[in-house]
């Protein structure tokens, strides 16, 4: 434990004083044993053997003295315990504050790296970079165009507003909490994989609106007393102001309410991919044709890569982990079917095979038009960046443990204070009893 150690300390007077909360002038005797000693010195009637009539009083007085001494010892011990827990709490709060400040400082340092070092593209010359930017831009425009085709959808309305040059969508009270549309928050390496993932997720999910908080979700739609949609508020009012109708139902995903991925990330991975346990066949190897997990094949650009919700989790471990979970990707349908016993959460194959979940197979040609853009902005992470990122993780872990220790110490302190108050009231009651017995002994008739 921290703080108090084994040295004897008394509790703070302002919180746990031994003195009773009454007028000290009305309190003739403050210590039962001292009071009875005084009575014994001033009255010959208390001398043992002189008057057997006072025997019971003397015995009761002796019992009070013993009990008083025990209560004083208990109060002293509880006082030390309270002081010990108070010191521990003070120390833990100080350390927790230091850890929080350290996290803020390191996060600020990462932001500086993000603005400077991340602008470089690894292993590419200027010409190839320009070509890549053109390809990515073309793919993004295609995705946006396909979203806008769904004119009566919330996704089309939000994309239309944000695409306008004069748009102030990021400051609009309705849309400032909207992070984007699912189809616009990630990219993949090739068009075939994009088509497969879009088919697996379905059009409604690809067009889902992603909000940061639940407050943002509630702002999108309001209802009247009858439970019907109030079209003069929320996105419906925004659609009316642009002479559009919002007739299609739409899915909204709230990031802060999603259950995040509980594991670790791949070491030294700029994309912060999840360290998922790969399927293993009997010989310990991965199944033939296994390419990886779909959640790790989504490429998140630097605009959103380090975005986190209040709990500290990012898009991959919240949004995409909840959408794709441990969906496996195989080279061919034949490989996927051979690996069927090792597929607990669904799989897709690059030649169009799809298992939605164990026992559910998707057949027929794909038809989804809204896909993820194709492209990958490769990031070059400096070694110092990864070192600081690991330090932040470790510091957050320490802070969480510190918070748990604080809760535990506070419960110990509360328990000790309750016991102290009980003992104190018992001690005050004993003082009152000792005063009564002293008065009785003093009034007892002298022996004849």
pLDDT tens digit string along 197-236? 988 998 889 999 999 888 888 888 888 888 887 777 878 8
- The full length of the chain comes to 448
The predicted pLDDT at position 436 comes to: 72
Res 126 pLDDT > 90: no
pLDDT confidence band for 15 (50 / 70 / 90)? very low
- Per-residue model confidence as pLDDT tens digits over 21-80: 333 323 333 444 444 444 444 444 444 444 445 556 566 666 777 778 888 888 888 889
Cβ-Cβ contacts under 8 Å for 294 (sequence gap 6 or more): 197, 200, 324, 327, 328, 329, 348
Mean pLDDT for 87-109 is 86
Res 319 pLDDT > 80: yes
> Nearest-CA neighbor of 187 among 140, 141, 147, 149?
140
* Beta-strand relationship, 178-181 and 354-357: unpaired
The predicted pLDDT at position 296 comes to: 92
Could you give the C-alpha distances from 377 to 38, 423, 445, in angstroms and in order?
91, 69, 104
Tell which wins on pLDDT, 125 or 68.
Answer: 68
Q: What percentage of the chain carries pLDDT values higher than 90? A: 16
Tell which wins on pLDDT, 184 or 376.
Answer: 184
Report the alpha-carbon distance of residue 194 to residue 128 in Å, rounded. Answer: 22
- Per-residue model confidence as pLDDT tens digits over 349-370: 988 889 887 777 777 666 667 7
């Amino acid at each position: 434990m921290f703080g108090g150690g084994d040295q004897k300390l008394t509790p703070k007077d302002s919180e746990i004083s031994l003195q009773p909360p009454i007028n000290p002038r009305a309190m003739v005797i403050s210590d039962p044993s001292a009071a009875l000693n005084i009575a014994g010195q001033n009255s010959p009637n208390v001398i043992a053997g002189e008057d057997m009539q006072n025997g019971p009083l003397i015995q009761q007085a002796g019992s009070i003295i013993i009990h008083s001494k025990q209560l004083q010892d208990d109060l002293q011990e509880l006082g030390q315990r309270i002081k010990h827990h108070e010191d521990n709490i003070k120390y833990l709060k100080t350390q927790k504050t230091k850890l929080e400040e350290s996290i803020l400082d390191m996060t600020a340092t990462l932001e500086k790296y993000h603005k400077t070092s991340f602008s470089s593209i690894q292993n590419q010359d200027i010409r190839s970079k320009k070509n890549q930017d053109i390809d990515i831009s073309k793919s993004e425009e295609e995705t946006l165009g396909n979203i806008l085709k769904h004119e009566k959808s919330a996704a089309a309305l939000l994309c239309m507003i944000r695409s306008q040059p004069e748009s102030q969508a990021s400051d609009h009270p309705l849309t400032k909490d909207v992070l984007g549309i699912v189809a616009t928050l990630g990219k993949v390496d090739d068009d075939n994989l994009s088509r497969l993932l879009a088919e697996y997720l379905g059009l409604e999910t690809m067009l889902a609106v992603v909000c940061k908080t639940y407050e943002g979700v509630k702002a999108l739609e309001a209802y009247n007393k009858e439970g019907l949609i109030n079209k003069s508020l929320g996105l419906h009012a925004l659609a009316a102001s642009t002479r559009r109708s919002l007739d299609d139902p739409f899915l909204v995903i709230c990031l802060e309410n999603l259950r995040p991925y509980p594991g670790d990330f791949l070491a030294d991975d700029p994309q912060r991919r999840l360290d998922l346990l790969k399927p293993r066949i009997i010989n310990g190897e991965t199944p033939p044709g296994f390419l990886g997990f779909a959640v790790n094949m989504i490429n998140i650009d630097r605009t959103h890569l380090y975005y986190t919700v209040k709990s500290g989790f990012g898009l991959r471990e919240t949004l995409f982990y909840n959408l794709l979970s441990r969906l496996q990707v195989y080279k061919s349908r034949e490989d996927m079917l051979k690996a069927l016993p090792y597929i607990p959460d669904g799989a897709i194959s690059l030649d169009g095979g799809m298992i939605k979940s164990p026992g559910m197979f998707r057949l027929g040609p794909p038809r989804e038009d809204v896909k993820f853009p194709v492209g990958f902005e490769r990031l070059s992470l400096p070694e110092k960046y990864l070192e600081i990122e690991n330090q932040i993780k470790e510091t957050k872990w320490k802070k969480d443990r510190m918070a748990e220790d604080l809760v535990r110490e506070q419960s110990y302190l509360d328990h000790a204070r309750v016991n102290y108050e009980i003992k104190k009231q018992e001690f005050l009651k004993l003082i009152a009893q000792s005063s009564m017995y002293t008065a009785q002994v003093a009034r007892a008739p002298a022996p004849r």
